[in-house]
Amino acid sequence: MQADMSIAIGRVISRGGHHGLRLLAGLLIIVAIGAVVVLLLRAARRRRGRPPADGSPQAQPPPPTVPQPPPPPQAPPTVPQPQPQPQAQPTVPRVSGPRPDGETISIRSLSKHYGAKVAVDELTFDVLPGRVTGFLGPNGAGKSTTMRVITGLDAPTAGTAMVNGRRYHDLSWPLREVGALLEARAIHPGRSAHAHLWMLAQTNDIPRRRVDEVLGVVGLSDVAHQRAGQFSLGMGQRLGIAAALLGDPGVLLFDEPVNGLDTDGIRWVRQLLRELADEGRTVLVSSHLMNEMAMTADHVVVIARGRLVADLPTSDFTAQYTRSAVRVRSRHLDRLVPVLTAAGASTRPGADGAVTVSGLDPEEVGELACRESIALSELSPQTATLEEAFVESTESALEFRGSRPLAGAAPGSALSDREPS
């Protein structure tokens, strides 16, 4: 073999000249690499077959698929050795008590411009844990824009929006700290509810079992594998709420969560929001349903044209922006009304024959009626509503205002002066 190789090398050199020398050098390098590999393999085999250093007979190697573990160390019986625990799959903690302090939303001098349009203008407020905060404002006030900035979907023009003292983009596991329902239809219509939630769970290392849990919470277990594109508006809202709850976060934002829900669904959302706040979470809810907010919100933040109007407990806001009123009914209102007006009250007749009196309390109205010997058939205080306070506080800042329909106009009369086609 060596002779044959020598003849081959000679032929290469004689025929190729300098090129032959280059080919020869390459061939020698390949042969040297092969020799090194062979030597390494032989050394490895000898190492595996070498007997133990103490001279004891060589033990049979254990099967490769079932390695023998080393014997446990001997320890005193009174001090048991701790057993190593297997690494568990990351889980989402379930709330069983108050949430940690500091889970807040903090807005400071926040502004957001879209070209010449000012959506949010120097807005500052805090959303604290343990209560439901209603986020109120007319259409175009900047509520949705503010929520989008909080969740990192829009960048602020100026100011800051912090969650737990950090920007949303700086959170390590966003879904575990902030849950949000901003647009219920933000889901691929071809995906099932379960597939949508599982996709979100995988992005934040949330276990699969949590997907089934939240589907049960929102009542979608029976349709978990149905395409979301076939869902009604109310079912889509429930799926959006499930996505917000997926990471069991301490901060939750809901933009119009009862939109499309029936009466039972609205009642369920109201109870859910209260339970989340009672667990110590921070809950911010935007809604145009004032009656629902009056039953749900402990605190209200009211904005109009991007500016802060009020940041008060719900009861204080209602008292500040409304006047107490008294409902009065009598057969002699023609005599009573001038007396009340002279005492500084304002009166507003109702459609049912009663009069609403503002500026006097029920005792004062009763005393004036008694002094004039006027019998009253009804004297009842009227509780101011959140809706009245909201209208009073934002009336001057409405951006979109409709006109009243024409009174007494017959159907089709608006088209009577159209030019014939």
Q: DSSP per residue over 280-299, as a string? A: T-EEEEE-S-HHHHHHH-SE
pLDDT at 25 over 80: no
Domain limits, the chain = 2-40, 105-320, 323-389
Alpha-carbon span 268 to 261, nearest angstrom = 10
- pLDDT-derived band at 350, boundaries 50, 70, 90: confident
Which pairing describes strands 355-358 and 346-349: parallel, antiparallel, or unpaired? antiparallel
Domains 105-320 and 323-389 share a fold: no
Q: Which residue has the higher pLDDT, 287 or 418?
A: 287
247-255: average pLDDT? 96
Q: Which CATH class is domain 105-320?
A: alpha beta
Residue 222's H or E segment, with its range, is none
pTM of the entire structure? Answer: 0.67
Determine the Cα–Cα distance for residues 240 and 200; give it in Å rounded to an integer. Answer: 12
Distance CA 296, CA 5 (A): 94
Which pLDDT does position 152 carry in this prediction?
95
* Per-residue pLDDT at 38: 77
CATH of domain 323-389: 3.30.70
User: What is the residue-averaged pLDDT of the chain?
Assistant: 82
Q: Quick count: other Cβ atoms within 10 Å of Cβ 378?
A: 12
Q: Please, are residues 133 and 283 in contact by the beta-carbon 8 Å criterion?
A: yes
pLDDT over 70 (residue 380): yes
The stretch 108-118 carries a mean pLDDT of: 95
Task: Supply 275's token pair.
Answer: 């339970």
